[in-house]
């Protein structure tokens, strides 16, 4: 395995099917063809099983490129881990309570349960602003209906995650709160002008960048005012010129899952991988299957071997990933006999139940793939 190929592998965070680590994925983690693994519902049976799975993933990684296990654990509709862990309310209710201290406490308690299982990267907080009650995929996942409320409470939640040792991920840049379609299923378009985008959609991301959040996830959404031709995930104008250049973000830019139909139905995985990295993405999320993950890896290796510009982007991204991994302070999972005392505690359940729903609009229905 060449140094370039090992660097490319650090740009890939992948999923898999089933409750145990497949041998072929273990080998790819061990040889640095994969830098991180993300968990979904099919990977989860019970806390002790999750702890064992996370331990296996992390133990497989080489010492100079530690494995990072990630999960979508927002609260509300999107929380892969549920009872006997604490079941958290939606973040619109948490933010609506108006107490940053309580919001931070939620982040720290939720993060503490993930840390007990050895999970170090939470794909949260949501930085989208809930401005459209008909939005089929964000809705009450957001912390508020104004950019100020979202920035205030999302960053409080993130500080809680950090206190628990995790690294966080703000999403979905440059804003998914006013879409009428679900990017899991088709390509949404947000037609707002630049003035509106800067005032509403971009404001929480600017605040998160200034605060030093470790990673920001892209949206598979087309914003004609920013780039009329390419969705944000594949747009250099959006990722490099705007997020890095204008907003000053220095952390890891993460693609949303490249298997979502908004992009997967329009581009082969080889093109998606190369174009996203060329645009400025540092980590590519590819849930499955393994064949698509391997094809993305090979396309990036071959592309970087032939193109000095792409090679420089790969090395730059691998360095950022290494910095993020170093910022994660989550130890290996606790012993199975200690899990009961760390998960779904009485204090955490009381905190979760103390929030009353504050959204008077019609409840947002989960996308069939949001909580998969």
* Look-up of token digits 């964000």: 138
Distance (Å) of CA 349 to CA 84, 100, 180, 353, 354: 10, 19, 34, 6, 9
Task: Compute CA distances 230 → 104, 187, 200, 268, 345, whole Å.
Answer: 36, 11, 21, 15, 46
The DSSP symbol for 234 reads G
- Is 184 in the active site? yes
* Candidate list 184, 220, 227, 282, residue with the active-site label: 184
90 belongs to the catalytic site: no
What is the rounded CA–CA span in Å between residue 306 and residue 202?
A: 35
122, 128, 227, 256: which is the annotated catalytic residue?
A: 256
Q: Which residues contact 312 (CB under 8 A, 6 or more apart)?
A: none
DSSP state letters, 91-156: HHHHHHT--HHHHHHHHHHHHHHHHHTT--EE---B------TT-SSSGGGSS-SSHHHHHHHHHH
Task: Say how far apart CA 114 and CA 116 lie, in whole Å.
Answer: 5
Residues with catalytic function: 184, 256
């Amino acid at each position: 395995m060449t140094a370039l190929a090992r660097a490319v592998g650090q740009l890939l965070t992948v999923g898999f099917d089933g409750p145990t680590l497949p041998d072929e994925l273990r080998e790819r983690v061990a040889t640095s063809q994969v830098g991180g693994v993300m968990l979904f519902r099919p990977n989860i049976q019970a806390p002790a099983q999750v702890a064992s799975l996370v331990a296996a993933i992390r133990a497989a990684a080489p010492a100079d490129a530690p494995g990072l296990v990630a999960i979508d654990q927002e609260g509300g509709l999107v929380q892969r881990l549920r009872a006997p862990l604490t079941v958290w309310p939606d973040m619109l209710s948490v933010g609506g309570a108006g107490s940053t201290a309580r919001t931070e406490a939620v982040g720290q308690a939720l993060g503490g349960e993930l840390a007990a299982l050895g999970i170090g990267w939470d794909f949260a907080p949501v930085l989208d602003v809930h401005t459209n009650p008909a939005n089929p995929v964000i809705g009450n996942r957001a912390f508020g209906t104004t950019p100020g409320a979202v920035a205030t409470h999302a960053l409080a939640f993130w500080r809680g995650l950090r206190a628990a040792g995790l690294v966080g991920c703000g999403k979905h840049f440059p804003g998914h709160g006013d879409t009428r379609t679900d990017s899991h299923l088709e390509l949404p378009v947000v037609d707002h002008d630049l003035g509106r985008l800067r005032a509403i959609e971009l404001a929480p991301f600017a605040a998160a960048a200034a605060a030093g959040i470790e990673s920001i996830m892209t949206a598979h959404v087309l914003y004609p005012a920013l780039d009329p031709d390419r969705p944000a995930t594949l747009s250099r104008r959006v990722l490099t010129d705007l997020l890095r250049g204008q907003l000053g973000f220095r952390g890891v830019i993460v693609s949303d899952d490249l298997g979502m139909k908004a992009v997967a139905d329009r581009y082969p995985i080889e093109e998606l991988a190369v174009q996203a990295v060329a645009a400025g993405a540092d980590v590519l999320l590819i849930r499955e299957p393994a064949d698509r993950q391997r094809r993305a890896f090979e396309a990036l290796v071959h592309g970087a071997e032939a193109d000095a510009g792409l090679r420089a982007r790969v090395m730059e991204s691998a360095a950022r990933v290494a910095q993020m991994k170093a910022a994660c302070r989550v130890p290996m999972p606790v012993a199975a006999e200690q899990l009961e005392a760390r998960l779904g505690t009485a204090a955490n359940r009381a905190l979760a139940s103390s929030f009353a729903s504050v959204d008077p609009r019609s409840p947002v229905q989960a996308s069939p793939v949001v909580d998969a």
